[in-house]
Amino acid sequence: MPEKTTISIIKCDVGSLVGHHTVPEPLLNVGEKNLQEAQKSGIINSHYVFHAGDDLELLMVHQKGEGNPEIHKLAWDTFQEAAKKALDLKLYGAGQDILKTAFSGNVRGMGPGVAEMEIEERGSDPIVVFAADKTEPGAFNYPMFRIFADPFNTAGLVIDPAISGGFKFEVLDVLENKRAVLKCPEEMYELIALIGTPSRYLISHVRRAKDDLVCAATSTTRLSLIAGKYVGKDDPVSIVRCQHGLPALGEVLAPFMHSYFVEGWMRGSHWGPLMPVGLKDARCTLFDGPPRIVALGFQAAHGKIACDDEGKPMISDLFSDPSFDLARREAVENAVSLRRMGEFEPARLGAGEMEYTTLPKVLEKLKGRFTKA
C-alpha cells in the first residue's frame, strides 16, 4: 500500500495591519520560517504560507494523516509566535482567534480554522484550496452544491459517466452538533432545505457516491459558538479535488463566475457580496470588505506539492484572472446597493445571528424605556 498524502490547511487571525484588513510581512515571515524548519526536519513535505485578508493561512502537505498532533502543534506554535509578534508591533486584534490557551494535541475548538484531507494520490491529483475572509463556513454551502450537484454548473454530471453516480454531502448541524449524509441527485431538495440556512447547516465533506472517494473538506469552526460572543468571523477554508471522475477545475471555479451573498463583512454583522480575488487583492477595505475569497491550485505528487526545477512549490493563483472581473464588478455594485440600507435588515443580519454581537448591549440599555403598549 503506498503511503497516503494529507493536505492540511490551518488558519488563524493572529492580528492584522490597520484594523482587520491584511496580514503584514513580519507575520507571514514567522509562518514561513517555522514551516521551512518543519520541512527540513521532515515533519511536513511541502508548505505554502499566504493570507486571505487578515487571516494567516498555513498550507501543509505531509504523510501524517488528519488531526495529527505534531502538525496541529506546529500550526498552534506558529500562531502563538505570530500573535506575540503582532502584539509587539501593536498590530490590531493581536491573537484574535486564539480563544483557548491549553493546547492538547488538536487546534479544533480552540479558535483556528482547519480543513484536512487524507488521500490516496491518483495518477494525477489536482487540488484547489479556497480561503475566505469576512465570512463564515456556511459561505461554502452554495459553491459546494453548485460544483457537486448542479448540472447547470458541472457539465460532467450530465456528460461524464464517471461522475454521473452523484455525490454524498456530509452536513453538520452546528447548533445540535450532529451530522447527516444526504445523497444527490436523489435527495437534492432535502439537501437544499438544510444548507439554505448556512449559519446552522454546513457542508463539511463531499464524497463520490460510488466509492466514497473524498472530494471536498471544509472548516466548520464557528468562533461565536466557541466564545459565546462575537470575536471576529470564522473566515473559512476548504480543500477540493478535481478532474478524472470528479468535477473539472473549471467546474470547481464556475460558481464564482458571479458574486453571491454571504454573512460576515463589517463587524461580522452584515450580508455582503463575496468577491473572488487573486492573492495580491486579498485585503479587505471597503466597509471592512467586501468579503473575499482566494483559490490556490496545485498538484499533490509523491506526498508533496509538485515543485518546479528550483524546488519551489508550483501554486496557481486561480482567481487572479480577468475571467472573474465580472464577479468582482458585481460584488462592488451589490456592496453599494446593500450599504444604501445602512443598519436596516436585510443589510444587517437577522436578530438570531446578531445575538452574538455587541447589539444586545445596546438593546439592554433601552429595556427600561418600554412600558405596556
Give the footprint of ligand 13P on this chain (CB under 6 A). 13, 20, 53-54, 96, 133-134, 232-233, 235, 266-268, 288
Span near Mg ion by CB under 5 A; candidates 20-28, 102-110, 174-182, 197-205: 20-28
288 binds Mg ion (CB under 5 A): no
**Closer to ligand 13P at the Cβ: 20 or 205?**
20
54 binds Mg ion (CB under 5 A): yes
Residue among 116, 118, 125, 133 that touches Mg ion (CB under 5 A): 133
Q: Please say whether the beta carbons of 11 and 53 come within 8 A.
A: no
Catalytic residue among 233, 235, 288, 356: 233
247 binds Mg ion (CB under 5 A): no
Q: Please say whether the beta carbons of 73 and 41 come within 8 A.
A: no
Residue among 7, 12, 20, 136 that touches Mg ion (CB under 5 A): 20
- 168-195 in b/e burial notation, b at 16+ Cβ within 10 A? bbbbbebeeeeeeebbbbebbeebeebb
* Cα gap 336→132, rounded to integer Å: 20
**Closer to ligand 13P at the Cβ: 56 or 127?**
56
Q: Is 131 helix (H, G, I), strand (E, B) or coil?
A: strand
**Closer to Mg ion at the Cβ: 56 or 163?**
56
Catalytic residue among 13, 55, 97, 150: 13
**Closer to ligand 13P at the Cβ: 241 or 267?**
267
Cell matching residue 298: 496545485
233 carries an active-site annotation: yes
232 binds Mg ion (CB under 5 A): yes
* Cα gap 116→90, rounded to integer Å: 32
93 binds Mg ion (CB under 5 A): yes
**Closer to ligand 13P at the Cβ: 22 or 68?**
22
Which residues, other chains included, contact 81 with Cβ-Cβ below 8 Å and sequence gap of 6+?
30, 34
Cell matching residue 327: 464577479
Which residue minimizes CB distance to ligand 13P? 232
Give the other-Cβ count within 10 Å of 305's Cβ.
23
* Cα gap 50→10, rounded to integer Å: 11
Residue 57 touches which of Mg ion, ligand 13P, none (CB < 5 to 8 A by kind)?
Answer: none
189 carries an active-site annotation: no
Min dist. Cβ of residue 20 to Mg ion (A): 4
90 carries an active-site annotation: no
* Cα gap 286→270, rounded to integer Å: 13
Positions marked catalytic:
13, 230, 233
